[in-house]
Chains A and B, each alone.
Chain A
Amino acid sequence: MTATTQTAKTVVAKRAAKPKASDAAKRENRTGWAFMAPFGILFALVFILPIIWAIYSSFFRQVTVGGGAYGGGELVNKFVGLQNFQYVVTSGNFWAGVGRVVIYTLVQVPIMIIGALVLAMLIDSYIVKHITAFRLSYFLPYAIPGVVASIIWVYLYNGQISPLVKMLAAIGIKVDFFADNVVLASMANITTWTFTGYNMLIFLAALQAIPHDLYEAARIDGANGFQIAMRIKLPNVRAAALLAMLLSIVGTIQLFNEPQVMAISDPSISKSYTPMMMALNTSQGTLTPGGDGPASAVAIVMALIAGVLAVVYTLVERKVNAE
């Protein structure tokens, strides 16, 4: 933004008296940076700097020196080159965790996005009255913090105290929400419950931006409501869908709250259940090798994987869109 306005200004300035205008441009430049500063400084401080620090520390391991059974009472940072990365890349636990979040993403994200789209279409159609009430109630779960949502659901999943489980049992369905092959779906359900309303809002905003004369034209051409939805609304929310998918993919790859909270009720959810849990527990030393070095390596490798996935998704989407 600033760059383009600035070049535009310089072009204009060149036509007029040269030195004076360049002063103005400089001033404008300064103003621009001043406006940027609050964001820029914080961004550098809490985002860029920690990333650089994480990359730096990922080349070290914390080990004892001084011999003896307990070491010398001091951990030192030992430069280990790429050993931490080698550990992460060859760790079965890490890839099992990646596998879990990938499956999770592949199943949960489409269900949630389609659900959100359907809800948005319904609200946007003329069938539904009291739109505000519906919009609010769909969005409400998002207002509940992720950890709190997980805690609520843990109670609902708990085989011995849950009204939900008892109700299902009463009609003959016996479920164990914590069974090894079900637990991931139980987590996905929490995420879906929380974020469907949020994604619905994205779609709703896109739907309401569609000019209404398109609908009128379609009606005159004899299209019914369903055809309008499929032929006009759907193609017009594609950009919104891309955004929602991308945000969701990035979000689910960082899966943490749900398994962390559910591990209270199901201790078989391991400390390395998802890569993010693995990073935290490695840094706390409840996984070995522990410490900040290996933990940073886990986080960096995962960030790279997430980045690659996001880029691949965008490229595929673009290609599909171009056709």
Chain B
Amino acid sequence: MVSHNKRLVAALAAVAAMGMGLAGCGSDTAGTDNGGSSDGGKVTITYMHRLPDSEGMTLVKDIVAKWNKEHPDIQVTATKFDGKASEMIKKLETDVKSGEAPDLAQVGYAELPEVFTKGMLQDVSQYADQYKDHYAAGPFSLAQVGGKTYGLPQDTGPLVYFYNKAEFDKLGITEVPQTESDFIEAAKKAAAAGKYIMSYQPDEAGNMISGLAGASGGWYKVDGDSWVVNTETDGSKATADFYQQLLDAKAVTTNPRWDPSFDASIKNGQLIGTVAAAWEAPLFITSSGGTGAGEWQVTQLGDWFGNAGKTGPDGGSAVAVLKSSKHPKEAMEFLDWFNTQVPDLVSQGLVPAATTEDAKTPSDWSNFFSKQDIMKEFKDANNNMGDFTYMPGFSAVVAKMNETAAKASDGSGKVADVFSEAQTTSVDTLKNLGLSVKE
């Protein structure tokens, strides 16, 4: 329910944003004071995030309160943005222009290049280097664009496989199939019994399917000053083929991830296995409403997408320093502290990018996931992630992929179209931004 409510809030926010768009003025006052007021050496830092902040988690404001208590000179105000990433970026874009943006803002790795291109980030390389060894190298580089650092990584979103072990056993599938053909065979067997061991989520296609396809190699490469785009890689073809076979055999659910029907499919026991991003664990527990609690497990992706045992990214965020910040040094100081509050961040459902402390699986997670140390699985997945560079303007590609993916789920299109549309949209988007593309 939580996740769905969030979508509703997002929809509301979208409508509100529409209103703002028509009124031609997108800044509201939501406590984002300029951060420029420094009286008597006291610095105010503002931080905007999109963390879940739900019941039972360590709330962001409580984490920040700890900092504020210890640092009377650097006072931080955190604001939560209720809405989609694209809406938050639009708001920040307007705010940066009018000089009212917060000092720090959560930016997904997929959006960071776009946000840089839109001129919203501040180069903080000189402050970032001292914090470099607090983070895994991969995520740290995702907070960089063209060798310069614009923030610090917060969490990562490796893709893994969630499945209900008890239900698998009942169907006589004793182990998660490791090859594509074995998996499809098992999926058909399960479907015959009214169960599904995979979900096809059209509204997450752009984020998830790009990650699955990207496990075996990225789509976007920089050659000199130009982009080389190939979204129809062998990995993409294998991914398309995998889902197309499942769709054709009606051996996969097609409920959108953020639609109530997805939650319903877990609650009524139909859906007993799915690819999910690591950060989905607490959301998934809520979605399930307790169905199958203690029976679910987390495991690595099999070799289903031509991925040779590798996995790919889906989500994960850095916190970036925005261009209008007047106190980048202090902002980075707070940011490094915040992003290394490992247990608190874990409670928010994150797989922290920080390596300063070992992340432990919270007990309510392990209760749901068969007493398993799922944080270890997530970390293993993280260390096994393919390299995927995102291009500026990727959000337009995501939108097009989702729309095309939905057409494949009702049979009016093919999964392969998702990747061919991604190709044309990617090239168009880069060109429209005035960037050069090698074709």
Contact = CB atoms under 8 A, between A and B. Distances in A.
B308 interface: no
Contacts of B11: 147, 150-151, 260-261, 264
A299 B41 CA distance: 47
A75 B117 CA distance: 7
Interface string A256-288: 110011001111111100001001110111111
Contact of B435 (A71, A179, A257): A71
B434 A71 contact: yes
A64 B393 CA distance: 12
Contact of B24 (A50, A67, A161): A50
B403 A268 contact: yes
Contact of A260 (B15, B264, B407, B436): B15
Contacts of A68: 146, 225
A226 interface: no
A53 B25 CA distance: 10
B222 interface: yes
B21 A280 contact: yes
Nearest to A295: B21
A152 to B, nearest CB: 11
Contacts of A284: 17, 86-87, 89-90, 395
Given A159-B261, A284-B87, A70 B113 contact: yes
- The range of chain B's interface size is 35 or more
Interface string B213-233: 000000000100111000000
A320 interface: no
Interface residues of A, number: 57
Main secondary structure of the interface of B (DSSP, over half): helix
A54 interface: yes
A266 B259 CA distance: 9
B407 A265 contact: no
B20 to A, nearest CB: 10
A321 interface: no
Given A280-B21, A285-B395, A75 B118 contact: yes
A64 B226 CA distance: 13
A50 B258 CA distance: 34
A280 B18 CA distance: 6
Contacts of A63: 432-434
9 nearest A-B pairs in the assembled complex, by CB-CB distance: A50-B24, A268-B406, A63-B434, A289-B432, A74-B119, A267-B406, A288-B429, A267-B203, A286-B399
29 contacts: A50-B22, A67-B436, A69-B146, A69-B436, A70-B113, A71-B117, A71-B434, A73-B117, A147-B12, A151-B8, A160-B261, A161-B261, A179-B410, A180-B412, A256-B15, A257-B15, A260-B14, A260-B15, A264-B8, A264-B11, A265-B259, A267-B406, A268-B407, A280-B14, A285-B86, A285-B118, A286-B398, A288-B396, A288-B432
Interface of A: 46, 49-51, 53-54, 61-65, 67-71, 73-75, 78, 146-147, 150-151, 155, 158-161, 179-180, 256-257, 260-261, 264-271, 276, 279-281, 283-290, 295, 299
